[in-house]
Structure 1
Amino acid sequence: MILDQILQQKPAKKKSFSEDKSSEKPIRSVAKAVSWRIIGTLDTLLISYLLTGKVVLAASIASIDFVTKMFLYFFHERLWNKINWGK
């Protein structure tokens, strides 16, 4: 059923951002990436500390995790913003 709906959708006419309020500005994706990564990094820090018992090692793991996953999330958000399905 869902696949039928996707296949029947006509491609939307390209609009500028000001005309298309369902899309997001890149700065919003950056803000969402940073806020989500803070939450995720605190989780990684806690789990790493519980597993290793070492604050320095846990902080190292969490800092690498913060940077790499923030970039991955940003590009993931921008890609999904281009997909019309479900909008």
Structure 2
Amino acid sequence: METRRRSVLKAVIWNAIGLATMALVGLVATGSMALGGKMAVVNAALGLSMYVVYERIWAGVRWGRIHG
């Protein structure tokens, strides 16, 4: 099992990558850096929240782990 701190750090790093990617996609899709940036921020906030919850749920699942 990993600590909450590790789960959160992983989520923050993953969302930084997603934020940059979504900003680029938003810019290409809309032609506007401002609108693309807003889309990216909303996506990152939702994604971060959901990823932390997802990781914490999986941290408690024993299935598929090798104990040794």
**TM-score normalized by the length of structure 1:** 0.73
Counterpart of 1:20?
none
Listed as ranges, the gaps of 5+ residues in structure 1 are 1-22
Q: Give RMSD over aligned pairs.
A: 0.6
Per-residue deviation, residues 13-70 of structure 1 (Å, max 9, x unmatched): xxxxxxxxxx000010000000000011111111110010100000100011111110
Structure with greater helix percent: 2
Instruction: Give the Cα separation in 2 of the matches to 1:26 and 1:42.
Output: 24
The match for 1:71 is 49
Superposition map of 1:4-83 within 5 A: 23-83=1-61
Q: Which structure 1 residue ranges, 4+ long, deviate > 2 Å from structure 2?
A: none
Aligned residues: percent identity? Answer: 32
TM-score by length of 2: 0.92
How many residue pairs get matched?
65
Query: 2: CA distance between counterparts of 1:35 and 1:86?
Result: 25
Q: Output the amino acid matched with 1:43.
A: T
